[in-house]
Amino acid sequence: MKLGTVAITGAAGNIGSVVREALRREAARLILLDRAPLRPEAENEDVRTVDLSDATAVESALAGADRVLHLGGVPDEAPLRDLLEVNVLGTHHVLEAARRAGIERVVLASSNRVTGFYAAGHHTGPHEPVRPDGLYGVSKVAVEALGQLYADKFGLSVICLRIGSFEHRPTGRRHLATWLSPRDAIGYIRAALTAPPSTRFATVYAVSANTRRFWELPDPTVLAYTPIDDAELHARDIPGTDLPTDPAAPQAGPYALPEFTLKHLRR
């Protein structure tokens, strides 16, 4: 399936920058949105400085898009007010703009952190109840819920990717389970953008083929991508990887500690 015109929010971010470079060779046109100023790097790129809190600006920027990849938002733990304003309200503006414009597909960047309190010894699937490890995880639960609402109520085709630890190479013990390589990130995103229109709503974990992963890989009937990379190939370069992992410890690791969230709560 041809990509047509793809709009990418958060195009200046770590994932957005990698995906932009990959998709510019495949899309007829890229509409690149970010709060940070961008410069076009190819003839088929259209860059726009947009704040996701501005619903009118978002709707205008997405005009003419066939598909939307929504990566924009606060990427980690923060005060709940900030997460609601950017992650939740911003996602609502993107989905509402897509509804009004009749856009074929919206791919939402969710996070593995929506299930961070499951035990490391538990192989977690996308249909199990959410167990967010912090306020950021809560905001991504709301993002997924908005996607489900717009699919059920308005007929949008929405795919939520629960993104793993996106790094060029794994650098810590937790990454041996959670790593998402750039190559696999591009593969998941391409598959989500081009999944059949009959895929009304789906949630999948976007993680590399790590031997120690916590999460189920996607059912190929839901998302036709099989990851390639395995963090285990880098294990010898990471200290402590020969130590056993406590199967009862939270998958989120340090993100599950109270201290990680307490500093963002009102005193």
Domain total for the chain?
Answer: 1
pLDDT digits (tens, 9 = 90+) for 124-161: 999 999 999 999 999 999 999 999 999 999 999 999 99
**What is the distance between the alpha carbons of residues 96 and 93, in angstroms, rounded to a whole number?**
5
Question: Is 90 inside any structural domain?
Answer: yes
Q: Which two tokens stand for residue 52?
A: 């996701």
Q: Per-residue pLDDT for 5 more than 70? A: yes
- Residue 188 is a catalytic residue: no
* 3 state SS of 86: helix
Question: Is 267 inside any structural domain?
Answer: no
Question: Is 131 inside any structural domain?
Answer: yes
Per-residue pLDDT band for 104 (boundaries 50, 70, 90) equals: confident
CATH code for position 140: 3.40.50.720
- The domain containing residue 120 runs over which residues? 5-262
Per-residue pLDDT band for 80 (boundaries 50, 70, 90) equals: very high
Question: Is 104 inside any structural domain?
Answer: yes
pLDDT digits (tens, 9 = 90+) for 213-242: 999 999 999 999 999 999 999 999 998 888
Q: Which residue has the higher pLDDT, 33 or 239?
A: 33
Question: Is 258 inside any structural domain?
Answer: yes
Question: Is 83 inside any structural domain?
Answer: yes
Q: Rounded mean pLDDT of 109-129? A: 98
Q: Rounded mean pLDDT of 190-200? A: 95
Selecting among 118, 136, 205, 255, the annotated active-site residue is: 136
Q: Per-residue pLDDT for 86 more than 80? A: yes
Q: Per-residue pLDDT for 1 more than 70? A: no
